[in-house]
């Protein structure tokens, strides 16, 4: 038995060129202290040798149900697993898994596993879009597996499009989420259009300087990652970020200033079923932006005159009230609070919820190393239904999944 923190993870590797990227995923899980067993298909070994997988996992590698017969490995490995990650999941492997084939050690293991299973497809766009693959993916999701949307970009050869293996860090974060989730991740946001803002804004002073903030964008990117894995069509409008990841299957729009963010959110709001304002928006911007670099001079620092930025969240709520965006659009805000002599974090959060008029507000304690830039987050979720739910300290991806859970009673599905 492994300890509660040390999980047993099977990494199944399919026969695709992206197999080499999975080495970084294996390394992530072993460095986190987990017990990792690698089960490649025979085809995968054309791309990465068994020696690499054995060295990275510390366990012998086999592709066949006829090795270690006395240990009944084809049954035991799946039964004992806490998580199975299959990457790259080729079109052939998805097909075999969807139809319940058991013609090698990996597919036999998939049939015996009762833990969360994450498929990470990688293939050419035509194969990904083929109705056979679409059906196989739907079947696997129906069976309870999580199938990560592939990234778009350069494929093998000269092709480019959907079908690229997501970055190893993204696979690892989703794998971590499945280890943390008490049950398998629901595929409950299929077709729901989710518009998310993330990261910090930069308010320019001159061509080289700006006023900014410490936001890393991790919470907003985690929402995008979890929402996409749960089936949502995600648009992520991102300001400045740090180490926030590259969620796959998500439309990414880069912005810099609060005004740019306001323009993008306003333009896209009418197309969204859910809007989540996770960005750390500057409340003020310099009135004047110098065309040339401001020189130090001899007179000492000149004061910076500021003007107020639009309150994007409040503006979106008002736009909904005026009928400019759908009355059923769910609007979610964040409150970054330190607490002060006038009240604690939650009290400030309640006051902000009343002021902003959104449907859900995530209240985060910030400052003193909390929330900004960290991998973990905590707080409260306030809902227009009057509930206040404590969000225990967890990874930002798990917290994101809890926030998405709270959408269900608010979503009006047509
Ligand atoms: N927000 C916004 N536009 C702004 C400022 C904030 O849309 N100009 C959004 C944030 O994305 C977040 C929520 O409003 O969802 C609360 O942001 P926060 O910085 O906590 O609060 P402020 O509205 O700036 O209020 P205060 O500075 O008084 O805490």
Q: How is residue 340 written in tokens? A: 């002060």
CA–centroid distance, 407 to ligand 1, in Å, is 21
Q: How is residue 160 written in tokens? A: 């480019």
Q: Is the CB of 237 under 6 A from ligand 1?
A: no
Contact 40, 147 (CB under 8 A): no
Contact 163, 128 (CB under 8 A): yes
CA–centroid distance, 131 to ligand 1, in Å, is 44
Whether 229 has a pLDDT exceeding 80, the answer reads yes
Q: For residue range 338-376, what is the model confidence (pLDDT) as tens digits? A: 999 999 999 999 999 999 999 999 999 987 777 777 888
Strand segments, DSSP code E, in 225-359 are: 233-238, 250-254, 274-277, 284-286, 306-308, 330-337
At how many degrees (to 10) do helices 168-180 and 22-31 cross?
40
For a mutational test of ligand 1's pocket, the pick from 236, 333, 338, 377, i.e. the residue with the most ligand atoms closer than 8 A to its C-beta, is 333
Catalytic choice (46, 213, 309, 342) = 213
Catalytic, 377? Answer no
CATH architecture of 8-180: 3-Layer(aba) Sandwich (3.40)
Q: Tell me which residue of 259, 246, 12 sits closest to 120, measured CA to CA.
A: 12
CA–centroid distance, 403 to ligand 1, in Å, is 18
Delimit the domains of the chain by residue range: 8-180, 193-405
β-bridge mates for residue 306, sequence order: 286
Whether 2 has a pLDDT exceeding 60, the answer reads no
Q: Is the dihedral of CA 63, 69, 71, 75 positive or negative?
A: positive
Whether 1 has a pLDDT exceeding 70, the answer reads no
Residue % of the chain over a pLDDT of 90: 86
Whether 121 has a pLDDT exceeding 50, the answer reads yes
Q: For residue range 241-273, what is the model confidence (pLDDT) as tens digits? A: 999 999 999 999 999 999 999 999 999 999 999
How do 274-277 and 330-337 pair as beta strands?
parallel
The pLDDT value given to residue 3: 60
The stretch 215-241 carries a mean pLDDT of 97
CATH no. of 193-405: 3.40.50.10300
Same fold, 8-180 and 193-405: yes
Whether 31 has a pLDDT exceeding 90, the answer reads yes
For a mutational test of ligand 1's pocket, the pick from 258, 275, 281, 403, i.e. the residue with the most ligand atoms closer than 8 A to its C-beta, is 281
The stretch 38-66 carries a mean pLDDT of 95
Q: Tell me which residue of 44, 240, 252 sits closest to 151, measured CA to CA.
A: 252
Strand segments, DSSP code E, in 90-214 are: 117-121, 146-147, 151-154, 160-164, 193-198, 203-206, 209-211
Average pLDDT, the chain: 94
Q: Tell me which residue of 121, 130, 175, 113 sits closest to 150, measured CA to CA.
A: 121
Whether 154 has a pLDDT exceeding 90, the answer reads no
């Amino acid at each position: 038995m492994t300890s509660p923190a040390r999980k047993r993870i099977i990494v199944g590797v399919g026969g695709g060129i992206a197999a080499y990227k999975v080495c970084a995923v294996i390394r992530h899980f072993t460095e986190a202290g987990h017990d990792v067993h690698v089960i490649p298909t025979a085809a995968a070994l054309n791309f990465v040798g068994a020696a690499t997988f054995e060295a990275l996992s510390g366990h012998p590698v086999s592709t066949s149900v006829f090795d270690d017969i006395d240990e009944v490995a084809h049954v035991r490995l799946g039964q004992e697993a806490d998580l199975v990650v299959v990457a790259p999941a080729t079109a052939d492997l998805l097909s075999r898994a969807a139809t319940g084939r058991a013609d090698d050690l990996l597919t036999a293991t998939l049939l015996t596993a009762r833990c969360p299973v994450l498929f990470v497809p990688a293939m050419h766009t035509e194969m990904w879009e083929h109705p056979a693959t679409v059906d196989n993916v739907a079947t696997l999701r129906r069976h309870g597996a999580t199938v990560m949307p592939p990234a778009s970009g350069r494929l093998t050869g000269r092709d480019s499009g959907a079908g690229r293996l997501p970055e190893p860090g993204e696979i690892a974060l989703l794998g971590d989420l499945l280890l943390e989730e008490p049950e398998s991740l629901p595929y409950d946001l299929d077709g729901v259009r989710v518009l998310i803002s993330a990261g910090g804004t930069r308010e320019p002073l001159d061509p080289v300087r700006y006023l900014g903030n410490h936001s890393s964008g991790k919470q907003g990117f985690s929402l995008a990652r979890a929402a996409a894995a749960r089936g949502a069509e995600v648009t992520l409008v991102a300001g400045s970020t740090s180490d926030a990841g590259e969620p796959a299957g998500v439309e990414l729009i880069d912005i810099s200033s609060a005004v740019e963010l306001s323009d993008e959110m306003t333009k896209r709001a009418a197309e969204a079923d859910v809007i989540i304002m996770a960005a750390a928006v500057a409340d003020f911007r310099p009135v004047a932006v110098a065309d040339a670099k401001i020189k130090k001079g001899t007179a000492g620092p000149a004061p910076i005159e500021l003007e107020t930025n639009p309150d994007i969240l409040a503006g979106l709520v008002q736009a909904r009230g005026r009928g400019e965006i759908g009355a059923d659009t769910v609007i979610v805000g964040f409150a970054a609070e330190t607490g002060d002599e006038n009240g604690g974090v939650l009290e400030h959060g309640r006051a902000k919820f009343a002021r902003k008029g959104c449907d859900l507000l995530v209240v985060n304690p910030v400052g003193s190393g909390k929330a900004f830039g960290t991998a973990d987050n905590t707080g409260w979720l306030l809902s227009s239904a009057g509930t206040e739910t404590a969000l225990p300290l967890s990874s930002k991806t798990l917290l994101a999944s809890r926030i998405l859970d709270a959408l269900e009673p608010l979503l009006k599905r047509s």
